[in-house]
A and B are shown apart, each in its own frame.
Chain A
Amino acid sequence: MSADANDGLSRRGFLAISAATLGGVMLAPGIRLIEIAGARAPEQSVSRQVRWGLLIDTNKCAPGCDDCVKACATENGLKDTGHPRTDAQWIRKVELKDMRTGRANSVPVMCQHCEHPPCVDVCPTGASFKRADGIVLVDRHICIGCRYCIMACPYKARSIVFEAITDQNPDVPRGNGCAEGCTLCVHRIDRDQQPACVEACTKAGHNAMFFGDLNDPHSEIAQRVAKYASTQIRADFKLNPGVRYQGL
């Protein structure tokens, strides 16, 4: 479908590494790489050259902290209805404990914005779709609520809305009976802002989340991915998620 969106780790890794070396030499001190990544012309905002992604440094993510989860709820108008089993959750903190070593970790999990998204493969109407820049979304106008995407997603990233919704955030339309999931705050990205979760994590001083263009060798995220060992959740499924984890 979109092999062009990501040509695999090796080429990107190579580009990122060479760019990182060059960047270190050529950039004036004080200019942050991420600002260059964000400085695209508006008409380039949805481009196949871009692959938006997240990097989560689990060493910095504190157990019990849910700043990202709260920020997501506020930004996207997700309210607690008092029915936790049916409420939508776009991002959640998963507490982990290694069965053999006892090592504990706490990681935020949201839609992984897969390069080969099974949710898109199964959707009968095309409501579930991947944007050219790698963001996987649901078009609430044509979703028929079949829930097949929820069955197909291996990351439990999708929810279905069980009740009528009031007081919506105009930027983030939601609908009773429709599927939904993390949009990577696409409405903010298109305004050159960071996703709400990343912003909240940074603001609180945790600095555990990085957002950026994985395809852009100058971006902080690409450089970090090139420099540090990172993993994808269930990499064995070969879906090539755009969300990467460091320190797992």
Chain B
Amino acid sequence: MAEYLIYHELGGPSRRFWSLLGLLAVPLALAAIAYFYMEHYGHIVTGMDNQIVWGMPHVFAVFLIIAATGALNIAMAASVFGKAVYRPVAPLSALVSLALLAGGLALVMLDLGRSDRMVVAAMQLNPESLLSRRVIFYDGYMASVGVYMWFLLEPRMNRYVKPVAIVAFLWQLLLITSTGLEFGFNFRAVYDSVLYAPMFIAFSSAYGAAALILILLAACGWEGRDVSGELLRRLKNWLGVSVGASLFFAILFLGTKYELVRSRDVARFLLFDGGVYTALLWLGQIALGGVVPLALLLRSRLSRSGIAAAAAMVLLGGLAQMYVTLIGGQAYPQILFPGMIESSSYFDGEIHPYAPSLVEVLLGLGGVALAASIVAIVLRAIALLPERLDPPAKPQA
């Protein structure tokens, strides 16, 4: 079946491809330097301290991981839910997901206080720990998405795609839900809400779709090919719905935090007097990452560059969201004695300052560059791009 789906590698002159890789090598090299610098001197050279222990590298890492799970949605729509229009880009969707995940996980590893002991994490897994369970989720996710991709591309295996896709879908659900709950179950005042689970599912759908759209447009632009209007329209709507859902959950989350008396102070901090976090929440997450792209995406006719702009805004807004969630969540003081004013040499009761250092930003950007390089190299090496991006004539698995 699916004879009309012929895949091919990314074309174009090899000189141009090598210059693309050369371009990507710059942020990768800078990130490598940043890593060795941090590794040599310790985390003292970062902007982190004992109150803000997860800094910019984690902002990028969690962002990439969240986007990774969402990028698979398009493939799942095609293979689990039978949305044939997405079938041509299903392999790309799986690849983008794996690449983003690799970028995010690399950052988590490189930002360890003892990254020299990375193998310990693999050898000494504490089976009861949440994080190790996550390691198992990551492995299961990557393996199932890998098998899914193989079945998609191997004509003889095509008919088994659906069950394999369902397995991948379940891993995806497990991974994104557990990521959300990790925040939701944390005692810190900014977290501590089960809404993190559905909210992160919405965020992941938006960030993943945005990344996929940008990569699809870039790959097609690279070869001067057209993306079918129908596919693009559907992707645009998908992104719009995801951004809408993200906004809805963000407002629900902030609203419930504000309504509950016990969390009103932290809601006030985020919404009104959190300084940089308040600004990033309103201008970054809500305006740039939500309202503006949503307004664009709601237009029935939107040019390719309009869609690309909306997707880019969603990604930038997503980074802002992650900064507010991760750094803002740590900056807000942990309350040990409710109803009391606390102060101590360990900065109890204070809003903790944080300014990311250059090394952290370079490392974080390196994670993005790693994901982009993986996509570029795999697209060039393996036939993953569909010959035609028109919707197929008949429905399929």
Residues of A near any B CB (own CB < 8 A): 1, 69, 83-89, 92-100, 105, 109, 118, 120-127, 142-148, 150-152, 154-156, 159-164, 175-179, 233-234, 237, 248
Contact = CB atoms under 8 A, between A and B. Distances in A.
Interface of B: 41-44, 48-51, 53-54, 108, 112-115, 117-118, 120-121, 124-126, 128-132, 135, 186-188, 330, 334-348
A216 B112 CA distance: 41
B341 A89 contact: no
Nearest to A109: B336
A89 B130 CA distance: 26
A113 to B, nearest CB: 15
A89 B345 CA distance: 9
A118 B340 contact: no
A99 B338 CA distance: 9
Nearest to A90: B346
B141 to A, nearest CB: 17
Given A89-B50, A144-B120, A155-B336, A163 B126 contact: no
Given A99-B341, A154-B334, A122 B130 contact: yes
B129 A121 contact: yes
A89 B112 CA distance: 20
Among A87, A97, A145: residue with most chain B CB under 10 A: A145
User: 4 closest A-B pairs (Cβ-Cβ)?
Assistant: A145-B113, A177-B113, A126-B126, A124-B131
Contact of B342 (A69, A94, A237): A94
Nearest to A150: B53
B131 A148 contact: yes
A93 B344 contact: yes
Contacts of A84: 345
B232 to A, nearest CB: 40
B121 A96 contact: no
A156 B346 contact: yes
B187 A163 contact: no
A162 B43 contact: yes
Contact of B130 (A1, A121, A161, A175): A121
A144 B121 contact: yes
Contacts of B114: 143-145, 175, 177-178
Contact of B51 (A85, A105, A145): A85
A40 B188 CA distance: 40
A210 to B, nearest CB: 21
A52 B308 CA distance: 60
Nearest to B341: A97
A144 B108 CA distance: 11
A235 B44 CA distance: 34
The residue in A92, A121, A123, A151 that gathers the most chain B C-beta atoms within 10 A of its C-beta is A151
Contacts, number: 163
Contacts of A99: 339-341
Chain B interface helix/strand/loop/mixed:
loop
Given A89-B346, A175-B114, 4 more contacts: A86-B48, A92-B348, A98-B339, A126-B126
Contacts of B50: 85-89, 150, 159-160, 162
Contact of B113 (A85, A98, A160): A160
Given A92-B348, A144-B118, A145-B114, A85 B125 contact: no
Given A86-B44, A144-B112, A146-B113, A96 B340 contact: yes
B121 A164 contact: no
A1 B128 contact: yes
B339 A100 contact: yes
A144 B330 CA distance: 21
A125 B340 contact: no
A162 B42 contact: yes
A232 to B, nearest CB: 11
A83 B44 contact: yes
B134 to A, nearest CB: 8
19 contacts: A84-B345, A85-B51, A89-B50, A89-B346, A94-B343, A96-B342, A97-B340, A97-B341, A124-B121, A125-B126, A125-B129, A142-B124, A145-B112, A146-B113, A148-B131, A154-B187, A162-B44, A162-B49, A233-B336
A125 B43 contact: no
A109 B330 CA distance: 19
A1 B126 CA distance: 13
Contact of B187 (A83, A95, A118): A118
Nearest to A93: B344
A142 B341 CA distance: 38
B346 to A, nearest CB: 4
Nearest to B182: A122
Given A86-B44, A122-B129, A156-B334, A142 B117 contact: yes
A229 to B, nearest CB: 16
A162 B50 CA distance: 9
Contacts of B187: 118, 152, 154, 234, 237
Contact of B336 (A69, A143, A156): A156
A126 B124 contact: yes
Contacts of B336: 94, 109, 154-156, 233-234
A164 B335 CA distance: 31
Contacts of A85: 49-51, 347
Contacts of B118: 144
Contacts of B335: 234
A155 B43 CA distance: 22
Contacts of B108: 146
Contacts of A83: 44
Nearest to B131: A124
